[in-house]
Amino acid sequence: MEQYQAIIIGFGKAGKTLAATLAKEGWKVAIVEQSSSMYGGTCINIGCIPTKTLVHGAHQKHGFAAAMERKSSVVEFLREKNYVNLAQSENVDIIDGRAEFIDNTSVRVYQDDGVIELKGNKIFINTGAQSVVPDIDGITTTPGVYDSTGLLNLTTQPEHLGILGGGYIGVEFASIFANFGSKVTIYEAAPLFLPREDRDVADAIAALLRDDGVNIILNAQVQALSSREGRVLIHTPEGVDDVDALLVASGRKPATEQLQLQNAGVDVDSRGGIIVNKYLRTSADNIWAMGDVTGGLQFTYISLDDFRIVRDSLLGEGKRTTDDRQNVPYSVFMTPPLSRVGMTEEQARASGLNIKVATLPVAAIPRARVIDDTRGVLKAVVDADSQRILGVSLLCPDSHEMVNIVKTAMDAGLPYTALRDQIFTHPTMSESLNDLFAGFICP
């Protein structure tokens, strides 16, 4: 049994960064990854990087085949780079295979040519998340039904793409394929579209998608799936629809089912998420969990921050915790993208705070005129008493860059007037924050 100071299960953002860091400190590290196509983790291989590369390709009016080819080359380049970054370290062993726990210090790895066992003083779980498969008859047996990973590997563009689920993943793919010229239909079981957003913002997003030719069906009750003559049949109480391909975008859950966590005394919640404390320690004192596998926010930058917390516990002062996180932003890379940080108007009103709200149509922004994309709206919510920014929703080009400016101001506790009166370059989308925050009545 090979002995290591650290065993890391999963080659994701937190795991690979921790492996490199510990190796530089002289630790002997094993990093176990069950698929050679996943070096670097979800983001690089089947998440952020390939989807955003396709967003760019669709926006640039590249053909579907050319965009898919470029997507593959970008992913392959980054995957190889991530592998080499660790493989070149004499203190890191990259071990291919599926890991499961023997006990809290031992791991069994199933490889193509046999089984090996590893022993580690400390073990870190970074296995990420996997697609949720709804209980629908035919969903696992019908040809032409894909999860997001499968859809990213299509070689032929579907003329009509169906999407089961109208959440953020579904919205991104709907926008991508609509911009490539596919007909798209979203089947959303809930009565509300994007319920986490304010209704005016959600309605604006729905309008943008519909302008691109996306059909959004709410209260959609998909009862079964089948196939006929190479097409996917979608059975609902209203009848049978047919599409060329169907994306199942029903969310993701922690990938813990095969780890045999009970052997290590690691507790999980009802969805399989590993339960951790604010230092990311599990119920087993020498085992940590990082990234999507904890059941928290599924963002690469949260996984990176998880690494920082664990690094501080191992090599620093042990003061960093998940409690230190403030105002986590997110972006949905539809076209134009939606980015949000902090409270919505609905949340702020429910909190009982004395609030002020301002909106700005993107058509009023000079830069939007320059780049010929005036779709969308900007919205800000502030505390009228403290002048603190409570949150923004930005549905506009470059919102994924702008939201970081607002987050920085919020984290620093600056009043909204700091952005209202800031000097920005011109013509830029960022300077619209001047006008957005000037929309409040000055106290």
What is the rounded average pLDDT for all residues in the chain? 96
Q: Which CATH architecture has domain 2-129+252-324?
A: 3-Layer(bba) Sandwich (3.50)
| Token pair in block for residue 227 | 């196939």
- What is the 3-class SS of 38-102, one letter each residue? HCCCHHHHHCHHHHHHHHHHHHCCCCHHHHHHHHHHHHHHHHHHHHHHHHCCCCEEEEECEEEEE
List the one residue out of 292, 255, 258, 259 whose CA is nearest residue 276.
Answer: 292
**Is the pLDDT confidence value at 217 over 60?**
yes
List the one residue out of 375, 402, 331, 394 whose CA is nearest residue 51.
Answer: 331
Q: Which pLDDT score, from 0 to 100, does residue 442 have?
A: 46
Q: Which pLDDT score, from 0 to 100, does residue 440 have?
A: 77
* Residue whose entry in the numeric block shows the structure tokens 């053909």: 63
Indicate the pLDDT class of residue 393, thresholds 50, 70 and 90: very high
- Helical spans, DSSP H, in 259-365: 300-315, 345-350
Query: Angle at Cα 115 formed by Cα 110 and Cα 118, nearest 5°?
Result: 90
Q: Which pLDDT score, from 0 to 100, does residue 441 have?
A: 58
Q: Which pLDDT score, from 0 to 100, does residue 56 have?
A: 95
Residues of the chain with CATH 3.50.50.60: 2-129+252-324, 145-248
Beta strand residue intervals within 165-213, DSSP E: 183-187
Q: Which pLDDT score, from 0 to 100, does residue 371 have?
A: 96
In angstroms, the Cα distances linking 335 to 63, 173, 384 are 17, 11, 32
**Is the pLDDT confidence value at 24 over 70?**
yes
Q: Which pLDDT score, from 0 to 100, does residue 15 have?
A: 97
Asked if 166 contacts 216 with a C-beta cutoff of 8 angstroms, the reply is yes
**Is the pLDDT confidence value at 320 over 90?**
yes
pLDDT tens across 4-23, in order?
Answer: 999 999 999 999 999 999 99
Q: 206: which DSSP letter?
A: H
**Is the pLDDT confidence value at 31 over 60?**
yes
The predicted model gives 200-215 an average pLDDT of 97
Angle between helix 13-24 and 300-315 (nearest 10):
30
Please tell me the class of the 330-437 domain: alpha beta
Indicate the pLDDT class of residue 443, thresholds 50, 70 and 90: very low
Contacts 24+ apart (CB under 8 A), 432-436: 432/360, 432/362, 432/364, 432/365, 432/367, 432/378, 432/396, 432/402, 433/402, 433/405, 433/406, 435/360, 435/364, 435/365, 436/358, 436/359, 436/360, 436/378, 436/380, 436/392
Q: Which pLDDT score, from 0 to 100, does residue 222 have?
A: 97
> pTM for the complete prediction?
0.94
**Is the pLDDT confidence value at 353 over 80?**
yes
The predicted model gives 335-361 an average pLDDT of 97
Q: Which pLDDT score, from 0 to 100, does residue 100 have?
A: 97
The predicted model gives 385-397 an average pLDDT of 97
pLDDT tens across 252-277, in order?
Answer: 999 999 999 999 999 999 999 999 99
Indicate the pLDDT class of residue 297, thresholds 50, 70 and 90: confident
Indicate the pLDDT class of residue 349, thresholds 50, 70 and 90: very high
pLDDT tens across 102-150, in order?
Answer: 999 999 999 999 999 999 999 999 999 999 999 999 999 999 999 999 9
Is 67 exposed, middle or buried, given 0-12, 13-18 or 19+ CB atoms closer than 10 A? buried
| Rounded Cα–Cα distance for residues 170 and 393 (Å) | 19
| Rounded Cα–Cα distance for residues 298 and 205 (Å) | 22
Please tell me the class of the 145-248 domain: alpha beta
Residues of the chain with CATH 3.30.390.30: 330-437
pLDDT tens across 236-257, in order?
Answer: 999 999 999 999 999 999 999 9
The predicted model gives 409-417 an average pLDDT of 97
Q: Would residue 235 show up in a list of annotated catalytic residues for this protein?
A: no
Choose, from 56, 62, 400, 426, the residue flagged as catalytic: 426
pLDDT tens across 75-95, in order?
Answer: 999 999 999 999 999 999 999
160-164 and 183-187 beta bridge pairing: parallel
- Greater confidence (230 vs 1) lies with 230
